[in-house]
């Protein structure tokens, strides 16, 4: 696969699981911004210490800091531009920044009904998965993700994929979308 893939979807959509298996199937590096933040925080890097301050205050990590971590990761692990991105970009500023790093992007959006997302997240039983918190997280995701999805939809590189069902069936749907995108870009 000669492209960079952005795997997106609401919390509980299965994007992390699908991003990991997609990366394994195609032998590509997988960048999860959550894992990236934890890596920098654990290593005590300057970026990690700054990110931790924002997280401790209950804020999102600012775009410029997230972008710096992503640039560093891509330069070290995916200089050829072939990578699976999970949880990034999350804002239009991040979309614009990513455009300076990668070309040939394909965006796969896992679509799952809100009631199913609520059920999945509550079933996980984490402290941040309580019913009210879940509803709030899903609301924030819907509000914040729409401009990013709209930007990629306008570029005609967004593929909405049904995120319900067997993990292998979802993986096949993702691979089919990627094959279609690859065929579009073939000479």
Residue list, annotated binding site for AMP: 33, 38, 59-61, 87-90, 94, 126, 137
Single out the residue of 34, 17, 32, 14 nearest to residue 119, CA to CA.
14
Question: Which parts are annotated binding residues?
Answer: 12-17, 33, 38, 59-61, 87-90, 94, 124, 126, 137, 165
Q: Is 31 exposed, middle or buried (0-12, 13-18, 19+ CB in 10 A)?
A: buried
Sheet holding 158-162, edge to edge: 30-32, 84-86, 4-9, 105-111, 158-162
The count of other CB atoms within 10 Å of the CB of residue 26 is 15
For residue 52, give the 3-state DSSP assignment: helix
Question: Which parts are annotated binding residues for ATP?
Answer: 12-17, 124, 165
């Amino acid at each position: 696969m000669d492209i960079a893939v952005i795997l997106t979807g609401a919390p509980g959509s299965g994007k992390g699981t699908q991003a990991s298996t997609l990366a394994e199937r195609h032998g590509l590096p997988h960048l999860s911004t959550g894992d990236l933040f934890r890596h920098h925080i654990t290593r005590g890097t300057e970026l990690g210490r700054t990110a931790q301050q924002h997280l401790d205050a209950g804020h999102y990590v600012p775009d410029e800091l997230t972008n710096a971590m992503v640039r560093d990761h891509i330069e070290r692990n995916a200089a050829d531009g072939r990578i699976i991105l999970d949880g990034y970009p999350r804002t239009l500023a991040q979309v614009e920044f990513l455009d300076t790093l990668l070309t040939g992007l394909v965006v796969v959006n896992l679509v799952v009904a809100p009631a199913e997302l609520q059920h999945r997240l509550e079933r996980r039983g984490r402290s941040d998965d309580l019913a009210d918190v879940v509803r709030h997280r899903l609301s924030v995701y819907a509000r914040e993700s729409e401009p990013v999805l709209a930007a990629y939809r306008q570029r005609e590189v967004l593929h909405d994929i049904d995120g319900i069902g067997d993990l292998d069936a979802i993986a096949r749907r993702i691979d089919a979308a990627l094959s279609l995108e690859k065929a579009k870009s073939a000479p």
